[in-house]
A = this chain, B = another copy of it.
Amino acid sequence: MLQGFFTIFGFMKILRPTFLINENTCRENISKMARKAAKSNCIFRPHFKTHQSAQIGAWFREFDVERITVSSVGMAQYFALHHWNDILIAFPFNIHETETINELANRITLSLTIESDFHIEYLANHIKSPVGIYIKIDAGYHRTGLSANDHSTIDSILSVCKSNPVIRFKGFLSHFGNTYQSRGADEVNSTFSKSMAKLKSLQNKYIHQFPDLLISIGDTPSCSLVDDLSDADEIRPGNFIFYDLMQLQIGSCSFSDISSIIVCPVVAKHPERSELVIYGGAVHLSKDFITDENGQKTYGRIVFLKKDGWSDSIEGSFLSNLSQEHGIVTCSEDLMNSTEIGDLLGILPVHSCLSANLFNSYLTIKGETVQNIHSF
């Protein structure tokens, strides 16, 4: 058990809630996904909204990644400054950011996501630099996007593309977010197949007019669990760099693929109700939760720190509640007895994207600080 002012990895001290990453596991996750994309003959355009870090972005270059996805214009600016020259903003075009988009599109290969006549008309009237556009398709998730049957809107968008010298149609983009409701490879594969069928029918319909059109899909469960992704032309997973408890519950990853934890000091003990209090709350972990196999609302699972990373998840212990800065760990008798105030516990996050977004930097288990967009 680690107590007091500990030098866990070399001479590093962890003083307060810290987002800790295992760089090797991150690289293995990238490597695996890059290999799968190559095997399926897909463009690998990873989503950088999860890590939002130029330094982590650089790791992807080692796997020949040159094209990336982001979810905001601000992220596109940040990564463009860090020499990413082919960026897709996979979020519905926000007309208020047209000025920045024009500036960016003048410097890099920029692609936008649209899903309405309004979007394309606005673009046609205001875009001065060449942009690629993807038409967002709702393949069953029902968050946003055009229905795959809405040929009339699609035709109308495409006719503007054909006549506009700076707007180039790149393809149909979808996020199969309903895979997050799936459990296990079979359910994910079934959702994937149903969703992909809709995109393929669109591709078949429009390929003659646009021989280069791409089918671009994104979710980490599909990209992790579907063996053959060759029906897609481009994949955009993001979360897989870190994975998390939500992905573990879906079955997208194994425990050893999870490459990030939040290290939190224990600040109080309540043995009478089997609870530890940690310095680590909603402003470090987000309020996302899962319901575990015992029906418990869970904001995180508990691990011990080790020299080379962290332990298995501690049985019978979990993060049961969060307020702004406090976390409540409901714990086993063993954990209670072996823990002192000042010990550092690791929390496996429920949703690593939202937790990572709450930190200005990450720490690797080798003791290196990794900056992200928030410290820029």
Contacts and interface: CB of A to CB of B under 8 A. Distances in A.
A273 B145 CA distance: 12
A287 B354 contact: yes
Interface residues of A, number: 54
A230 B279 CA distance: 32
B287 A16 contact: no
A267 B72 contact: no
A163 to B, nearest CB: 21
Interface string A65-92: 0000001111000000000000000011
A12 interface: no
A374 B374 CA distance: 9
B91 A267 contact: yes
A136 to B, nearest CB: 8
A144 interface: yes
Contact of A267 (B49, B94, B265, B325): B94
A95 interface: yes
Nearest to A270: B144
Given A96-B16, A341-B118, A354 B282 contact: yes
A325 B286 contact: no
Contacts of A353: 324
A207 interface: no
Interface string A323-356: 1111010000000000011100000000001100
Contacts of A268: 92, 115-116, 144-145
Contacts of A374: 374
Given A326-B144, A328-B143, A13 B96 contact: yes
A16 to B, nearest CB: 7
Interface string A104-146: 0000000000011011001000000000000000000011110
A292 to B, nearest CB: 17
B324 A277 contact: no
A270 B146 CA distance: 9
Contacts of A96: 5, 13-16, 265, 342
A160 interface: no
A96 B15 CA distance: 5
Contacts of A324: 49, 71, 353-354, 357
B91 A325 contact: yes
B97 A15 contact: yes
A177 B93 CA distance: 42
8 contacts: A116-B269, A143-B277, A143-B326, A144-B268, A282-B286, A283-B357, A287-B287, A324-B354
> Considering the complex of A and B, which 8 residue pairs feature the smallest CB-CB distances, nearest first?
A92-B267, A287-B287, A15-B96, A144-B277, A95-B342, A118-B341, A144-B268, A92-B268
